[in-house]
């Protein structure tokens, strides 16, 4: 049985194409798709002297029309925000083309679960672009997106999950600080900042744990959930995207009964 537990950093998006999202609103993720509305996702490449857009989708995603609709809506919202920034120039153009880069990768596919990871960035000026990080877990048999709030519906049940994640992130932050060979005083200050960001970014609510994908065992059951934290949520931009795998045994007591059968054990 595969059970992953711990914390790791994913590769940060290159500085040339990613940005501090202080003034940008996050892309809103739809949770309900209308199966009566047909959609066919196709890769997008569009460039001119004002903007560049590149969007890629998994090859067989259109076999799940409801999920395809959700992914298409996410892409459309990201594109609309880019174009709003471009159109603000009127007849002028930015000093460097604004960019939207977005890649969807199917990371899990079973009769019960399909998971897609979206990673990219939107550049609308500044030192680097705004990271775009989203995860989608689809239930084909129910034709619906599985959200964190549905999975753990009782607010108080997020506390033990939050505590587990917080400990893993703090341990990883301490390891990075030790590896940097800092002066003791600088290390203390770094850990103060890291602890504050981790505490804020892992407060016990579904919103802070909205991005996740299942990690399956050999039987196709969920052995762990990999929670994904984009830059700035639990650490500075330089730390990139961070993940923590929470084992099924930690999650099971807090999962809504209708989803318990998806989990190992």
Q: How confident is the model at residue 93 (pLDDT cuts 50, 70, 90)?
A: confident
In residues, how long is the chain? 265
Beta bridge partners of 85: none
Poorest-pLDDT segment among 58-67, 173-182, 242-251: 173-182
List the domain range (segments joined by +) for residue 213: 150-262
Q: Are residues 19 and 129 in the same domain?
A: yes
Is 87 exposed, middle or buried (CB count within 10 Å of its CB: 0-12, 13-18, 19+)? exposed
Tell me which of 93, 113, 147 is where a domain ends: 147
d(CA 119, CA 127): 19
Q: Based on the number of CB atoms within 10 Å of its own CB, is 229 exposed (0-12), middle (13-18) or buried (19 or more)? A: buried
Tens of pLDDT along 156-189? 999 999 999 999 999 999 998 888 877 888 888 8
Residue ranges of E strands in 84-235: 98-109, 114-123, 130-139, 144-145, 212-216, 222-229
Give the model confidence (pLDDT) of 207-227 as tens digits.
Answer: 999 999 999 999 999 999 999
Query: Of 126, 147, 168, which closes a domain?
Result: 147
Task: Give the pLDDT score at 9.
Answer: 55
Pair (39, 115) in one structural domain: yes
Residues 64, 136, single domain; the answer is: yes
For β-strands 98-109 and 51-56, DSSP reports them as parallel
Q: Are 134 and 93 in contact (CB under 8 A)?
A: no
pLDDT of residue 104: 98
Whether residue 5 lies inside any domain: the answer is: no
Tally of domains in the chain: 2
CA dihedral 185, 188, 189, 191 (to 10 degrees): 160
d(CA 241, CA 108): 20
């Amino acid at each position: 049985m595969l059970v992953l537990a711990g914390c790791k950093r994913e590769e940060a998006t290159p500085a040339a194409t990613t940005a501090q999202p202080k003034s940008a609103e996050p892309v809103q993720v739809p949770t309900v798709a209308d199966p009566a509305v047909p959609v066919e996702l196709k890769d997008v490449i569009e460039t001119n002297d004002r903007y560049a857009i590149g969007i890629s989708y998994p090859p067989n995603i259109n076999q799940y029309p409801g999920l395809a609709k959700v992914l298409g809506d996410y892409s459309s919202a990201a594109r609309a925000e880019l174009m709003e920034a471009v159109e603000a120039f009127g007849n002028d153009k930015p000093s460097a083309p604004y960019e939207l880069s977005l890649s969807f990768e199917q990371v899990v596919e079973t009769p019960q679960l399909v998971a897609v990871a979206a990673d990219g960035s939107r550049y609308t000026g500044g030192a680097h672009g705004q990271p775009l990080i989203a995860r989608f877990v689809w239930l084909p048999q129910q034709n619906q997106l599985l959200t964190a709030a549905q999975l753990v519906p009782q607010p108080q049940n997020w506390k033990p999950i939050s505590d587990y994640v917080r400990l893993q992130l703090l341990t990883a932050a301490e390891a990075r600080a030790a590896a940097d060979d800092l002066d003791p005083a600088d290390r203390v200050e770094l850990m103060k900042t890291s602890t504050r960001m981790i505490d804020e970014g892992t407060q016990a609510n579904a919103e802070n744990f909205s991005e996740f994908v299942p990690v399956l065992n050999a039987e196709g059951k969920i052995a762990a959930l990999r929670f994904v934290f984009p830059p700035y949520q639990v650490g500075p931009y330089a730390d990139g995207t961070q993940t923590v795998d929470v084992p099924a045994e930690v999650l099971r007591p807090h999962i809504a009964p209708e989803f318990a059968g998806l989990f190992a054990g």
